[in-house]
Chains A and B, each alone.
Chain A
Amino acid sequence: MITVKNLGLGLFFLGVVAFTVLPFLGSYHLREDLVSSEVKEIHREKVKELLAPMYGFSYSSTYSFLQAYHQQLDPYNEALKVEGRWEEVIWEDYGFSLAKAALQGPSRDHPLLCLLLSLGSCLAGGLLFHLAKKKEESPGGAFAGIFHSSLTNRGLLGILVGSYLILFYVILYWFPAYLVSLVWMVEPLSKLLSGGPASQWFLYGLVYTLAILVMGIRMFSKYAGNRYQQLRTASVMFFQTAFAFLIPEVLVRLNQPYFDFKNIWPLDYDFFFDYQLSTFLSSGGLGLFMLAWGCLLIIVAVPVFTYFYGKRWYCSWVCGCGGLAETVGDSFRHLSDKSLKAWKWERWTIHGVLALAVVMTSLTLVNYFSGFKVLGDLTNQVHAFYGFAIGSAFAGVVGTGFYPLMGNRVWCRFGCPLAAYLGLVQRFKSRFRITTNGGQCISCGNCSTHCEMGIDVRAYAQQGQNIVRSSCVGCGICATVCPRGVLKLENGPEKDRIHDFPILIGRQTIQLKK
């Protein structure tokens, strides 16, 4: 089993190396006809003219290609800005699409081989490793040893993995042109699914989905015999694969708007943006259905489902961010900050983001329905800011890149506006609670240690109180890790959901005063 495990590790490592090296392979050859096909009509002639000096040259790296591109384009734009001719400035960044078109290299020539060597190898290696590891597991259960591992105890390995993830996200959001080589290797798959070319987002969606699937399978073996954990894992695997990845691609193939039917505003922050609304309104019956569906999710599904089951129905059963956190991030859940101070921070930041999203959306709608007369271009700037600061930096870079450093739910806990909305319902009008089993708590602290949301579960359990916290995503790990059977996630009557017994069960001297 040790050899199988090492083989798995080797394969995984090989895949990571291939994935990391691919962007450095190949060269860029720009031609006039490529510019014609990639650049919008209004800019076409100008860009063709500006980039003419690049034709016929071979650029050996993405960096040198982009540098040349900017050398040609930037002085032109700068001059226009100085003269105040804003309408003529070429705001669009053609770096990614031109780099993609100009690339000549192995991933374009042999996409399937490259895909197999990188992602395929990671996939197979990861599966082999985890299945072999399960077989040779030493006693102590699923949680023993995490603080003895460099990867999961903020050791060197953890810092390296975190840095790699952060780097990946920074490149993905702000320097996607460096990924064109990787995008080419998923081009055939994109053609197969949507019929269109692959973008960096398609690559990201595929990697994301595969990661959830592989690590989801790991969850099945890690939590063997725990049907709650297995079912909710199967659920996030399904929703990610079908709803977030496949259905939107198929919709595009059918000439319908790209739409994730399980994404809910305000997590889906651009749902009410003008271009989205225009898309919905101009896409016939299905477009209108999407608009109505999205509104129903916000107005009906969130309060009703959260009333009956708590926010877990979404956060740890359906959501894509939650799906990644609960599978890929599972080994990092104990790294969340449990302090009172962190809780205070959390309440300010998460509700702050919710307020921001609500204000932004209101402005957008007012502007949209007034025909852009009230605020003009202002909403676009708000969108740009939110997209940069919240959508990319917070949710992506910090939310996932910091898994090995701050735990797997940083975004969900401190930033997600939908989690804030679900949390308000859960806290004030819900049947969900974590029940404490009478006086059985021994204050061991396993529950608090392994709570990904940083809830000090023990603080409640040792006093015999039920846990009713807006941030609880109902992952059920506290109940799983409890060595004395003290915690149970339940949906029950609202009466006595929150109670504060001064005295625990087990003694008769003092009668409870209600």
Chain B
Amino acid sequence: MSATHFVILGNGISGITFARHLRKGNPHVQITVISGESPYFFSRTALMYVYMGQMKWEHLYPYELQFWGKNRITLKQAWVTALDVDAKKLSFDTGEDLSYDYLILATGSTPAFYYWPGQHLQGVQGLYTKQDLESMEINTSTHVNRAVVVGGGLIGIEMVEMLAYRKIPVTFMVRESRFWEQSLPKREADLVHRLLKEQDIDLRLGTELKEILPGVHGKVRAVRTSQGEEISCEFVGLATGVTPNVAFLKKSGIKIQRGVLVNSYFETSAPNVYAIGDCAEFEYAPGEGRKNIEQVWYTGRMHGETLAANFCTSPQPYAPGVWFNSAKFFEIEYQTYGVIAVEEGDEIQDFYWEHPSGKIAFRMQMDAGGKILGVLALGFRLRHEYFDRAIREGWSGLQVISTLHQANFDPEFFAPYHVAIQKSFQLQFGVSFPLPKRSLFHHLFGSSS
């Protein structure tokens, strides 16, 4: 009898995490990973650093090439053309077929374009895949007088930074009234706006893309905004979100809405077929305040871990813990733990502190009873374990702030912002607690305990 064959479609963080943990837990099964995009798993999050000359392509591989052979994970580079769930068989563009016992769909996302006129012109692109990075290199290799980036989210601001590094003037077009409206409250967004202005980015808030205008040879010449303004440009970056990459599954018979529908065990409507990561859509949100489609690196990784564990031990439903996320806007780091409401509400107590430099900020939200709901930090670093525990155990905001020094994750000798935050909290909420004293020794040598 041959070994059970797991075929994983997609070699991103979800698929590879699954493969790795499956191999850890089961030395016998046969594992094959399919990808058309790249023969090896690479870090999608670092595409921008290759463009900016901070890394080379090979630095994006989180595992040395020998890793795959050593762990008996077979890699196959091909695009899937058809999936037959009854025969348990995949067909590839190369004409080959592959049978599986279990199929894991981990095909990720694809940039969402919204049928703008001219969106297929040369010089217009999203940024998601290895191929996108290559075409961005080509599209900006000849002189670009101005680039337009559309979409006020994380990929948008990354593209802005990449283009700015190449000294290309950028117009940054954001449909909403502020940058990353779904995740940033107004004051944090304003902080980012100021940062963009400092970098000479032409930021257009509340502005939509109407159409992209052609020039000669099928190249982009300009864009027209919702205000009717025409902006000349030779490059357009479309960063208006991503959508599950499931188009090729339409004919397979697997139930699909926006993504591949799964239950909390990642089971799809087809037997022995599972879906994880960006391409999966939960029938029921996996937790309070969670979305049905989770499209971040961390959740992809958790999906992979969970499903692999379910194959190796007794199956348990996916139960994510406290939400967390991070990003970086130019030089300013962003971290969040728990849930942050972006608009003010009666049932929420809000605490916000900003450093006089206007580049460092901290927000904590509590419920009416003072229990912590979430925190958001810009420009300094917080300890994940601390907030994971505080939020899981339902600490009071007071408790969190009074021991905030334990949450500091900035490098040694950095100004400890927690002191200013603690004082500000005392002032705003009229409470008092002893501020931790740092000995001269600690000041000098930065011992953390």
Contacts and interface: CB of A to CB of B under 8 A. Distances in A.
A491 B447 contact: yes
B412 interface: yes
A124 interface: no
Contacts of B53: 144-149
Interface in A487-514: 488-493, 503-510
A438 B388 contact: yes
B52 A144 contact: yes
B412 A492 contact: no
Contact of B333 (A138, A226, A485, A492): A485
Contact of B64 (A227, A340, A435, A509): A340
A458 B165 contact: no
Given A138-B164, A446-B46, A506 B324 contact: yes
Nearest to B301: A504
A416 to B, nearest CB: 24
Most chain B CB within 10 A, of A139, A149, A231, A490, is at A139
A497 to B, nearest CB: 12
Contact of A483 (B305, B328, B388): B328
Given A444-B49, A506-B320, A484 B301 contact: no
A479 interface: yes
A438 B388 CA distance: 9
B298 A509 contact: no
Contact of A509 (B199, B319, B333): B319
Interface in B336-395: 380-385, 388
B59 A448 contact: yes
Contacts of A488: 381, 409-411
B326 A440 contact: yes
B191 interface: no
Interface string A220-257: 00000011100100000000000000000000000000
Given A147-B55, A228-B413, A442-B45, A139 B161 contact: yes
A144 B388 CA distance: 33
B402 interface: no
A443 B43 contact: yes
Given A479-B411, A510-B309, A139 B333 contact: no
B20 to A, nearest CB: 10
Contacts of A479: 411
Main secondary structure of the interface of A (DSSP, over half): loop
A449 interface: yes
Contacts of B333: 483-485
B43 A140 contact: no
A503 B298 contact: no
Interface string A427-447: 000000001011110111110
Given A144-B52, A340-B64, A507 B385 contact: no
A507 B306 contact: yes
B194 interface: no
B448 A491 contact: yes
Contacts of A231: 413
Contacts of B13: 443
Interface string B283-303: 000000000000001100110
A139 B165 contact: yes
Interface string B49-75: 100111110011111101000000000
A151 to B, nearest CB: 12
Interface in A134-155: 138-141, 143-149
A440 B161 contact: no
A485 B326 contact: yes
Is the interface on chain A under 10, 10 to 19, 20 to 34, or 35 or more residues? Answer: 35 or more
Interface residues of B, number: 63
A265 interface: no
Most chain A CB within 10 A, of B53, B320, B414, is at B53
Contact of B54 (A145, A504, A507, A510): A145
B255 interface: no
Given A147-B54, A508-B320, A228 B161 contact: no
A340 B413 CA distance: 33
Most chain A CB within 10 A, of B302, B335, B409, is at B409
A140 B388 contact: no
Given A444-B45, A445-B46, A439 B445 contact: no
A231 B413 CA distance: 8
Interface string B235-278: 00000000000000000000000000000000000000000000
Contacts of A507: 302, 305-306, 318-321
Given A145-B54, A443-B45, A503 B305 contact: yes
Nearest to A437: B384
Nearest to B322: A506
Given A444-B45, A483-B333, A485-B333, A143 B54 contact: yes
Contacts of A200: none
A509 B301 contact: no
Contact of A510 (B61, B167, B316): B316
B409 A485 contact: yes
A439 B384 contact: yes
Contacts of A287: none
Given A309-B445, A462-B62, A510-B309, A446 B320 contact: no
B54 A446 contact: yes
Nearest to B302: A507
B55 A446 contact: yes
A505 B388 contact: yes
A480 interface: yes
B412 A489 contact: yes
A381 interface: no
Contact of A505 (B55, B385, B411): B385
A401 interface: no
Interface in A442-490: 442-446, 448-449, 458-459, 462, 476, 479-480, 483-485, 488-490
B59 A445 contact: yes
A339 B58 CA distance: 12
B317 A445 contact: no
Contacts of B321: 505-508
B52 A140 contact: yes
A138 B446 CA distance: 32
Given A231-B413, A507-B302, A440 B62 contact: no
A462 B297 CA distance: 11
Contacts of B413: 227-228, 231
Most chain B CB within 10 A, of A146, A148, A507, is at A507
B113 interface: no
Nearest to A139: B164
Given A488-B410, A508-B321, 8 more contacts: A138-B167, A145-B53, A147-B54, A228-B414, A443-B45, A444-B45, A484-B327, A508-B320
Interface of A: 138-141, 143-149, 226-228, 231, 308-309, 339-340, 435, 437-440, 442-446, 448-449, 458-459, 462, 476, 479-480, 483-485, 488-493, 503-510
Interface of B: 13, 43, 45-46, 49, 52-56, 59-64, 66, 161, 164-165, 167, 199, 297-298, 301-302, 305-306, 309, 316-322, 324, 326-328, 330-331, 333, 335, 380-385, 388, 409-415, 445-449
User: 10 nearest interchain CB pairs?
Assistant: A438-B384, A485-B381, A148-B53, A444-B46, A227-B413, A140-B165, A145-B53, A442-B45, A484-B326, A483-B328
14 contacts: A143-B54, A144-B53, A147-B54, A147-B56, A437-B409, A438-B388, A439-B384, A440-B326, A443-B46, A446-B55, A479-B411, A506-B302, A506-B324, A507-B318
